[in-house]
């Protein structure tokens, strides 16, 4: 098991050394702490505590708003690049709150792997499960980190069983914990045959490693008390008999996850996990696109926008489009073609996100995430190429689950409201529908908290107080079909028709019955709950 290092790559070395991944977890499992330790060991920050906002308050609503207001923080946290030995890690942040699942989904289209963090006492929680399902839809490789082993946690076999059963994925232990809670000593590293002992005195110190010649090595007894050692030997013997052996290909296919045990706050197990990401990867993967997939080793640059963050500085109304480079070697100042509008764009001030700083990206390679400041030209799903007409696919937009009308507190500022709403629609923060009948807009979101965030941002960024109010509709579906069929459908269902910010036709209703009726009455019209962004 020791030498299952990623086989020699066919990619150019600059690309092969990149690892682009996200962390998925339930709130409180330790994502922030782990991120911070990654940065610390990656040499991107000098001291723990630089990334973290303070304590529980960070997750309360008011603080969430504060974070939204303080665009600097959330942006630098959106993508972070740092080196780990010869590797370049690009860590893309997934929004923590469950209300932002659509944004999360799109973020996961920009990564090649995910690290799943679970709390050793709590196991798989609701948000972990949901995010895992999203990863599964894309067969993303997943590496698991079982955190907080310094506290009382569940039995190791129980944790592994729970993951296997709830997530239907094979689990292979990469390390095995010794003791638990106050008696937690460290782990036996099953991949390297090493003993890793946790240092409780210095939380930022990397654990001491002791080379061990298998489980019968007498050295073990010098470090592990007899009782714990006996349990460790028994458990590992059982684990080897009952659990699948590590299979790199199965991990890359997303059917097996290696699991490391540790304690992020004590910096324990983090390096082993980082080594796992480095060794097992994967390296940058091909991007699904139409009419052909894009391969990272292609000489020409291709990138796609998976996230747009607007008004980072409310005074300047600038936006940053987050672009995942799918191929090539990008250099600052390059002229790329914006495929949707067919216009050239000179990318003169792209940014790379290094821990809490942004800096100009002089160059970037396939696998990297760069930020491109712009005035609204770049939208989610857009593709940039060196001229070829190609479109990234698989970046969906989901039908909102909650719909509300929106009123401006100042009726004279209708245009301002429209502008604000369109901007949020382009940013992907909400769906905005303009009904064909009557005036005003219907705003659709995935989670209720988003209405509050929108209201606060419209007020903050546009100086416009707004009120969201119940709408007569509860569901939205995109309608597609031949021209004649669509025209007939539109004419006969006017009070249900609206257009989204791209001008696409949407059917609004409060009854599933209506949706079924359209299916029967208009066989040439298709109603869908997702649309590809482009």
**26 belongs to an annotated ligand binding site:** yes
For ligand G4P, which residue of 4, 6, 14, 28 counts as binding (CB under 6 A)? 28
Residue 27 near ligand G4P by CB under 6 A: yes
**30 belongs to an annotated ligand binding site:** yes
Of the pair 263, 287, the CB lying nearest ligand G4P is at 263
The owner of tokens 């504060």 is 66
**90 belongs to an annotated ligand binding site:** no
Q: Restricting to residues 240-269, which ones interact with ligand G4P according to CB under 6 A? A: 263-266
Judged by CB under 6 A, the number of residues near ligand G4P is 18
**28 belongs to an annotated ligand binding site:** yes
* Backbone dihedral angles phi then psi of residue 259, each to the nearest 5 degrees: -120, 135
Coil, strand, or helix at residue 64? Answer: helix
Quick one: 186 exposed, middle or buried, by C-beta within 10 A (0-12, 13-18, 19+)? Answer: buried
**149 belongs to an annotated ligand binding site:** yes
Residue 128 near ligand G4P by CB under 6 A: no
Q: In the numeric block, which tokens belong to residue 224?
A: 């592990």
Q: In the numeric block, which tokens belong to residue 185?
A: 């000593």
* Backbone dihedral angles phi then psi of residue 435, each to the nearest 5 degrees: -65, 145
Residue 192 near ligand G4P by CB under 6 A: no
Instruction: Show contacts of 51-58: CB within 8 Å, 24+ apart.
Output: 51/77, 51/355, 51/356, 58/32
Q: Distance between CA 66 and CA 51 in Å, rounded?
A: 15
Residue 151 near ligand G4P by CB under 6 A: yes
Residue 475 near ligand G4P by CB under 6 A: no
Q: In the numeric block, which tokens belong to residue 435?
A: 């009904």
Q: Distance between CA 39 and CA 47 in Å, rounded?
A: 9
Choose among 207, 145, 138: nearest CA to 174. Answer: 145
Stretch in the footprint of ligand G4P (CB under 6 A) among 6-14, 21-29, 307-315, 433-441: 21-29
Q: Distance between CA 156 and CA 146 in Å, rounded?
A: 10
**25 belongs to an annotated ligand binding site:** yes
Half-sphere exposure of 269 (CA within 13 A, CB side): 32
Q: What's the closest the beta carbon of residue 531 comes to ligand G4P, in angstroms?
A: 32
**226 belongs to an annotated ligand binding site:** no
Residue 199 CB neighbour total at 10 angstroms: 15
For ligand G4P, which residue of 30, 123, 281, 435 counts as binding (CB under 6 A)? 30
**96 belongs to an annotated ligand binding site:** yes
Q: What's the closest the beta carbon of residue 273 comes to ligand G4P, in angstroms?
A: 12
For ligand G4P, which residue of 112, 150, 272, 283 counts as binding (CB under 6 A)? 150
The distance of Cα 175 from the centroid of its chain, to the nearest Å, equals 26
Of the pair 29, 134, the CB lying nearest ligand G4P is at 29
Residue 126 near ligand G4P by CB under 6 A: no
Q: What's the closest the beta carbon of residue 143 comes to ligand G4P, in angstroms?
A: 16
First to last CA, the chain: 44
Residue 63 near ligand G4P by CB under 6 A: no
Residue 127 near ligand G4P by CB under 6 A: no
Q: What's the closest the beta carbon of residue 279 comes to ligand G4P, in angstroms?
A: 23
- CB contact at 8 A, 453 and 65: yes
Residue 55 near ligand G4P by CB under 6 A: yes
Q: Distance between CA 328 and CA 303 in Å, rounded?
A: 9
Residue 270 near ligand G4P by CB under 6 A: no
Which is it for the CA torsion 319, 322, 327, 329, positive or negative? positive
Of the pair 56, 313, the CB lying nearest ligand G4P is at 56
∠ CA 195-200-201, nearest 5°, is: 125
Residue 32 near ligand G4P by CB under 6 A: yes
Of the pair 150, 426, the CB lying nearest ligand G4P is at 150
Residue 106 near ligand G4P by CB under 6 A: no
Task: List residues forming the annotated binding site.
Answer: 25-32, 93-97, 147-150
Task: List residues forming the annotated binding site for GTP.
Answer: 25-32, 93-97, 147-150
Instruction: List contacts with ligand G4P (CB under 6 A).
Output: 25, 27-33, 55-56, 147-148, 150-151, 263-266
């Amino acid at each position: 098991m020791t030498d299952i290092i990623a086989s020699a790559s066919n990619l150019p070395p600059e690309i092969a050394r990149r690892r682009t991944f996200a962390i998925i977890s339930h709130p409180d499992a330790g994502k922030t702490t782990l991120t911070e330790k990654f940065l610390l060991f990656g040499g991107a920050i000098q001291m723990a505590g630089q990334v973290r906002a303070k304590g529980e308050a960070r997750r309360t609503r008011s603080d969430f708003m504060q974070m939204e207001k303080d665009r600097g923080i959330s942006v630098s946290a959106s993508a972070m690049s740092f080196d780990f030995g010869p590797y370049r890690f690009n860590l893309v942040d997934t929004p923590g709150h469950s209300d932002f699942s659509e944004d999360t989904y799109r973020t996961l289209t920009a990564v090649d792997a995910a690290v799943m963090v679970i709390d050793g006492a709590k196991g798989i929680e609701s948000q972990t499960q949901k995010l895992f399902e999203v990863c599964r839809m894309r067969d993303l490789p997943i590496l698991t980190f079982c955190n907080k082993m310094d506290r009382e946690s569940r039995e190791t076999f129980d944790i592994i069983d729970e993951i296997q059963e709830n997530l239907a994925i094979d689990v292979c232990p990469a390390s095995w914990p010794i003791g638990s809670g106050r008696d937690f000593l460290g782990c036996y590293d099953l991949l390297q045959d090493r003993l890793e002992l946790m240092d409780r005195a210095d939380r930022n110190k990397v654990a001491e490693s002791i080379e061990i010649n298998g489980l019968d090595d007498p050295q073990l007894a010098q470090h592990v008390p007899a009782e714990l050692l006996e349990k460790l030997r028994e458990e590992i013997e059982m684990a080897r008999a009952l659990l699948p052996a590590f299979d790199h290909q199965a991990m890359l296919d997303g059917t097996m996850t290696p699991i490391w045990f540790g304690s992020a706050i004590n910096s324990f197990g983090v390096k082993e996990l980082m080594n796992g990401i480095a060794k097992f990867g994967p390296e940058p993967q091909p991007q699904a696109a139409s009419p052909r997939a894009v391969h990272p080793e292609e000489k020409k640059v291709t990138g796609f926008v998976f996230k747009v963050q607007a008004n980072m500085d409310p005074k300047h109304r600038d936006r940053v489009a987050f672009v995942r480079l799918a191929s090539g070697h990008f250099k600052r100042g390059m002229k790329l073609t914006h495929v949707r509008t067919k216009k050239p764009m000179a990318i003169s001030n792209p940014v790379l996100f290094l821990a809490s700083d942004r800096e100009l990206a002089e160059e970037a390679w396939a696998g990297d995430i760069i930020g491109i400041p712009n005035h609204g030209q770049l939208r989610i799903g857009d593709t940039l190429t060196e001229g070829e007409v190609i479109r990234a696919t698989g970046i969906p937009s989901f039908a909102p689950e909650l719909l509300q009308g929106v009123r401006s507190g100042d009726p004279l500022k209708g245009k301002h409201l429209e502008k604000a709403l369109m901007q949020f629609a382009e940013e992907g923060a909400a769906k905005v529908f303009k009904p064909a009948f009557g005036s005003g807009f219907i705003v659709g979101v995935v989670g209720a908290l988003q209405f509050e965030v929108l209201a606060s941002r419209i007020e903050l960024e546009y100086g416009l107080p707004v009120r969201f109010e119940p709408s007569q509709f509860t569901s939205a579906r995109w309608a597609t079909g031949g021209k004649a069929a669509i025209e007939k459908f539109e004419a006969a269902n006017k009070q249900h028709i609206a257009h989204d910010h791209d001008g696409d036709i949407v059917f609004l209703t409060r009854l599933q019955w209506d949706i079924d009726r359209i299916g029967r009455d208009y066989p040439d019209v298709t109603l869908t709950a997702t649309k590809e962004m482009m």
